[in-house]
């Protein structure tokens, strides 16, 4: 009888200890689920990284390169419960910096257990507008030589041309880039952050004259593979995209707020961009 009582007490003790350990070592993580739309695969040197903001401090929720959603991540339960905001950034694949990069793509504040995320952290494109004209100033010396259909410039023609974009000033980590869709794909006109000065690129332009003080490009030299220069811009699609900086992809990023079609008339005629807000990523984050 004594032996049986001892075994019963021992069993109760083991059970109690086991329950106590389960409580102490129970789950301290919770699941964060991303259901995002409109992202595109990045180059091999970059990944997406999620962040929750806890007491003003960014806490990484993990990196990913697949754009198939939904995706779930295990996060410290207490931090996730205290998070007020979710941010998605683009980060180097080999990143020694524990802080988020400037290239923040999506943001949203938690309301209860859900955050609706959008690109407002990049800019408000709801009033995006602008126009462009066809002209080839870089191959002219004092006189228009009739080649104006070989160039595209963003603004209103004049002496000098002036900008006409209604676009937000981008935060650090982002730049605009112009494109003309050629026979084999988009051809860059260069990146820019200011609308009243030349952009960063003139490799396709002639060298007779500098370009005007607005973004744009003539298409005479150094033709890309699959293209024939001079490039007749008439009838072609013209795009303004928003690009991460730095950027390891030669193609336009998914964010293309303005898209237009070049008409047949050269300067002084202008051709209007239309809004393309459906290209902007968005989604939902739940905890």
Task: Report cis status (omega within 30 of 0) of the bond before 160.
Answer: yes
- Tell me the whole-structure pTM to 2 decimals: 0.87
Q: What is the pLDDT of residue 19?
A: 37
Q: Report the Cα 221 to chain-centroid distance in Å.
A: 29
Contact (Cβ atoms closer than 8 angstroms) between residue 214 and residue 155 = yes
Report pLDDT digits (tens) over 150-161: 999 999 999 999
Burial (Cβ within 10 Å: 0-12, 13-18, ≥19) of residue 145: exposed
* Across 103-118, average pLDDT: 98
Report pLDDT digits (tens) over 176-229: 999 999 999 999 999 999 999 999 999 999 998 999 999 999 999 999 999 999
Q: What is the pLDDT of residue 26?
A: 54
Site of tokens 């002084």: 268
- In 193-272, the DSSP E strands lie at 216-218, 237-244, 258-261, 271-272
* Across 159-167, average pLDDT: 96
Residue 15 has pLDDT above 90, yes or no: no
């Amino acid at each position: 009888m004594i032996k049986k009582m001892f075994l019963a007490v021992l069993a109760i003790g083991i059970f109690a200890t086991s329950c106590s350990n389960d409580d102490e070592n129970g789950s301290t993580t919770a699941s964060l689920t991303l259901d995002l739309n409109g992202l595109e695969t990045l180059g091999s040197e970059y990944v997406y990284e999620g962040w929750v903001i806890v007491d003003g401090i960014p806490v990484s929720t993990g990196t990913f390169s697949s754009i198939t959603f939904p995706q779930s991540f295990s996060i410290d339960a207490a931090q996730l419960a205290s998070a007020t905001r979710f941010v998605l950034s683009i980060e180097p694949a080999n990143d020694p910096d524990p802080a988020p990069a400037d290239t923040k793509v999506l943001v949203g504040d938690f309301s209860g257990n859900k955050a609706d995320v959008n690109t407002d952290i990049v800019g408000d494109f709801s009033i995006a507008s602008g126009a462009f004209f066809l002209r080839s100033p870089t191959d002219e010396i004092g006189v228009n030589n009739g080649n104006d259909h070989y160039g595209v410039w963003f603004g209103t023609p004049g002496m000098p041309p002036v900008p006409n974009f209604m676009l937000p000033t981008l935060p650090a980590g982002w730049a605009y880039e112009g494109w003309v869709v050629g026979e084999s794909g988009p051809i860059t006109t260069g990146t820019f952050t200011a609308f009243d000065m030349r952009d960063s690129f003139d490799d396709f332009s002639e060298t007779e004259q500098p370009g005007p003080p607005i973004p744009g490009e003539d298409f005479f030299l150094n033709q890309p593979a699959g293209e024939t220069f001079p490039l007749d811009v008439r009838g072609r699609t013209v795009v303004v995209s928003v690009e991460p900086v730095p950027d390891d992809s030669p193609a336009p990023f998914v964010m293309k707020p303005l898209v237009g079609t070049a008409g047949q008339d050269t300067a002084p005629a202008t051709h209007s961009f239309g809004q393309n807000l459906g290209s902007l990523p968005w989604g939902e984050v739940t905890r």
